Structure 1
Amino acid sequence: MDDVEIEDVNEDSPFLVEKEPLRNQDLTSFTDIAGEVLSLYGWHLLLVAFVLFLLVQQLKKRSSGQSASDTASAATQDAAFVAQRQEAMEAARRRMQEELDAKAVLFREKQKQREEEKRRQKLENYKGIVMSQDEAASSSAALKPKTDKKPLRSTDYSPLSGQGGGTCSWRPGRRGPSSGG
């Protein structure tokens, strides 16, 4: 195995083809060209774009100047239309306000009727209670047998007044700090 020799290929060999290094040919050529154009003519291109912009603006002004007469007649029609629309809106607002006022009046009347009804019911309940108490008092007075016992105290006795013959009377509390924890 030592007999094997490796020979270099001569440049004179017909089978050898030299190739350029591989490059992405999609955008590199375009970016190269665009870069060169911008570097050489960048300011010129910017100036041309600005002039084109100004020309477009002037053309728009001229075309709107010709339609200015059309706009004036449209403006008078628009003013009349706007005035008519505002009047219609005002009329609608007035109608709505009148409806709201009418509903408010009805609500107040119903509220007064409810309050009056509540007042009547309270008055009737009160009268019924008073009458039943009067009837109960008169019936209990009729049912109670009269006794000749002497009442324990007089009718004008009040234990808080300090009068009426009691030995106990009210005394103020002790002065000083409260005792307690």
Structure 2
Amino acid sequence: MDDGVTIEDEGGPEIQNIQIENQDLKNQDLNFLQETVGPLFAEYGWYLLFMCVGVYLLVQHLSKRRKGTSKSTSGPMLDPDEVAKRQQALEASRKRMQEELDAKAALFKERRQQLEEEKRQQKIEMHESMEAGKSYKGNLKNAQDTEEPSTSTAVLKPKKDKKPLRSSDYNPLSGDGVLPCSFRGPRRRGPTAGGG
């Protein structure tokens, strides 16, 4: 290797090692950090600070959550007999609620069957009255009156001298009745007549 560099052995390998170490120490100076990191902090310093604070708070939050979940899983040990009693009480409660629900469903089904039977009876009565030539509306009103007695004692009577509000030839689409057509065209816009 002849690159134009000549190595002279002055004092042996120990001196060469010392010279190489001195060169390395010169390169390890902190000037290069100031040249590279200084402008970075000058431009993005606040962003880096807020990001570091955010990461710190996130780590704290996650560590609290991890402690909370580890406490709940390794919480106080429950007695197996107590757990069994709770489960039995829960099953008994569910069974009681199911029985109540079944009873309500049976009552609902019974009421629905009664209503259907009443409707069927009304249809039979209506059919029989129509075959006999009677009006069923009167029978239906009488049946409803007997089932639901009226609580009010005052009966409203219609007035005999009642005048109609409008004449029989009134048509709301014809306008106010004065003119057959009341359409006016749009106003023309033009120069205003004003003083000059």
Bigger relative CO (Cα 8 Å, ≥ 6 apart): 1
Q: TM-score, normalised by structure 1?
A: 0.38
Task: Flag the structure with larger Rg.
Answer: 1
TM value normalised by structure 2? 0.36
